[in-house]
Structure 1
């Protein structure tokens, strides 16, 4: 068997190298997948412990796509401005996913991906409040488009393309490891909660309800995936949401990564008890089989009298094949009646394995923890990139795919398919320990 990183895995001259695929000089080229495993062209198998960055909750299951294609066999394509029974059925099902939790009615818009959906959410907020300031947390990631790059924290996203006219204010980081207000004993204190609710006054520099240039939207992630799997303190997040709503801002929950049980409950915002006005999600809706995202807004934010027809359009949001994928995946979710208990068991299984390996390398691992179908490994230094490479290559027969980000170079993000087995988690733990041994 060939060793990972041979010349045939290197970036070909015709391939654009700006994509995250090419963070390393050579990458495996996958040719097949089943369950939680991907197989490369050289025959090497990789356990997916990042699940296409949280997208592939159900693993690599061809039956989902087959079931979807059967549903749209009579209507394989549709002109972009035409309605279908399939689309209306999917919209109804999606609307219930949020209104059933929040207990209020809403409307659903569709889009093609996370960044596009975030822009649609801002359109809805601006339709209510007018274009204005947007408040986010430090460490946020909401996309790399011209508009969403302004919301995302890393300046790398704004170096080449950015909507410079958009005013964005960043609240102190909700990650206690990064927050300058965090007390010595850890956790969020009164000062931290005060720090996220000072805007809207004459001295804050940020307009509120009584100002013409006010905050139109407050956008938050229930868990900051790209920011290093950091969950805001629940009291801190509730204080930020309450203040935003008191100042008239539309509260937008970015559930692109956290939605559909990735961090435990159906929606990440349920962990803290906040109730957003707009919910954006995508990854958990199609199992990676189509590009489609959802924007739910509580009434009357999306009512046509306020958010006028023609405010938003996209060529492919009515394409039957993508809608059929969502419909088939929603059937799977509806049939998983023990999802809460099963995800809790997954959380415990990941936590115990990570803690066991980490305890033997305290000089390399600062912290481990699990949250629903996610886990994070905090290293004692900016070694995440090196560890990502070791996870792929250190074992003679098996690689493991994990996620890392430039915004948290000391954190390894772990989020396998939610259907990962105990034996597959044992493989992950074995490769984790081998990688730590090599890192020493």
Structure 2
């Protein structure tokens, strides 16, 4: 364990938000191993990236694809890049039912910025609409889109006008006194009232209007919140009717994390632009893909030279993407298998809820993602306890500042039934310790 920030390490990194941080030296399957030999089951999948688990063969396959082209100028083309682009475009277009084009970028935040470039090229720069609870990155531009004011304390693009629709989380909804089974008429009205004279936000017929509506099919950082399907469809329809480009942030949910290939398929909406990233490289390279329906990214709309970055087309990242795409192509029925994973997560979390009714108020799994809702803001404490509660094995889960009462669980999609049992056993021990601490006045 690292118990102090090293003298040579920048202190602002998220790594050091905890007092004790495991130092990992190897990983395989669903497990990480620390320098002291202790093993940790990763039920967080490296920020949701390692859908295939920690698999060294992906790196070997990637090297075989790129070893003859170790680097490339950013203004040059390669067969490797074109092959990856063609395969990616097909993944999007098959499910959306429309042709499109793919632009590449680095991480998720950079991909979101490229999506805005494409939208603004098509309809002009303007206001961007998002939901409360959104997380779209922490760069200067994307921090404006993300909800937490903390992300904008040091760097922000204050010239970008952003309007936030009410939270799609029924548990935090201002239009209902208690959580409801689905969104009510008032929720839909609140999400579609912009573009009127009294709303303060321009739409069709206004010189300054909304250029883009961005949504997540599941709000990961906000505590694994899935917007009501009817609400999301109404918000998308309203945005499109007012000339806005509809952008789906599939950075976390893309590639079967929530069951279908794309999270937006759960609600039946069809976006104009899709941003994917994490599962495209299984955490082994920084790469995002931005798909845009024709003609949004065509040369007459998105002028060549509008975007460039030194590392966007590096062969290493493209080789990793090709190797991971090979894996996805070889999985016979990922959607059905991930739904079975959802059932396994649900069974175990329901058992934990029944065993700890004073600590767990709710749970839900959708695909390979789940939320364990606590009765108070105890998620940071529970997350820390999971690292040490069991003498045999540690457990890595997630919690966020925007949802301190929720434990986020999103393991590798290839996690085994036995590993799910281990996860539940460690969570049970950690919840017991949390209950004892609370009873004694701690946590």
1:177 partner SS: helix
Tell whether the 8 Å contact from 1:11 to 1:26 is kept in structure 2 after alignment: no
Matched, 1:165 2:149: no
Per-residue CA deviations over 1:273-310 (Å, capped at 9, x if unaligned) read 00000000100100011000000000011111111011
1:134 partner SS: strand
Structure-2 residue corresponding to 1:289: 284
Report 1:310-321 matches (<5 A). 310-321=305-316
Matched, 1:346 2:341: yes
Tell whether the 8 Å contact from 1:252 to 1:279 is kept in structure 2 after alignment: yes
Structure-1 residue corresponding to 2:95: 101
CA distance in 2, matches of 1:127, 1:50: 36
Alpha-carbon spacing, 1:185–1:367, altered in 2? closer, same or farther (3 Å): closer
CA distance in 2, matches of 1:217, 1:417: 32
Aligned match for 1:388, one of 360, 383, 387: 383
Aligned residue pairs total 434
Alpha-carbon spacing, 1:391–1:185, altered in 2? closer, same or farther (3 Å): closer
1:16 partner SS: coil
Cα RMSD over matched residues? 0.9
Relative to the length of structure 1, the TM-score reads 0.98
CA distance in 1, matches of 2:296, 2:333: 34
CA distance in 2, matches of 1:182, 1:418: 35
Report 1:103-252 matches (<5 A). 103-182=97-176, 184=178, 186=180, 187-252=182-247
2:129 partner SS: strand
Tell whether the 8 Å contact from 1:183 to 1:189 is kept in structure 2 after alignment: no
Report 1:338-377 matches (<5 A). 338-377=333-372
2:335 partner SS: helix
Alpha-carbon spacing, 1:391–1:360, altered in 2? closer, same or farther (3 Å): same
CA distance in 2, matches of 1:203, 1:98: 38
2:172 partner SS: coil
CA distance in 2, matches of 1:358, 1:200: 43
Tell whether the 8 Å contact from 2:80 to 2:319 is kept in structure 1 after alignment: yes
CA distance in 1, matches of 2:24, 2:48: 18
Alpha-carbon spacing, 1:380–1:183, altered in 2? closer, same or farther (3 Å): closer
2:364 partner SS: strand
Matched, 1:70 2:64: yes
Aligned match for 1:39, one of 33, 36, 40: 33
Aligned match for 1:431, one of 422, 426, 430: 426
Give how far 1:183 is off: 5.7
Give how far 1:10 is off: 2.7
Tell whether the 8 Å contact from 2:85 to 2:102 is kept in structure 1 after alignment: yes
CA distance in 1, matches of 2:115, 2:175: 30
Matched, 1:418 2:413: yes
Matched, 1:16 2:16: no
Structure-2 residue corresponding to 1:261: 256
Structure-1 residue corresponding to 2:73: 79
Tell whether the 8 Å contact from 1:34 to 1:61 is kept in structure 2 after alignment: yes
Structure-2 residue corresponding to 1:27: 21
Structure 1: tracts of 5 or more residues without a match = none
Give how far 1:30 is off: 0.3
1:57 partner SS: coil
Structure-2 residue corresponding to 1:378: 373
Tell whether the 8 Å contact from 1:9 to 1:29 is kept in structure 2 after alignment: no
Give how far 1:184 is off: 4.2
Give how far 1:23 is off: 1.3
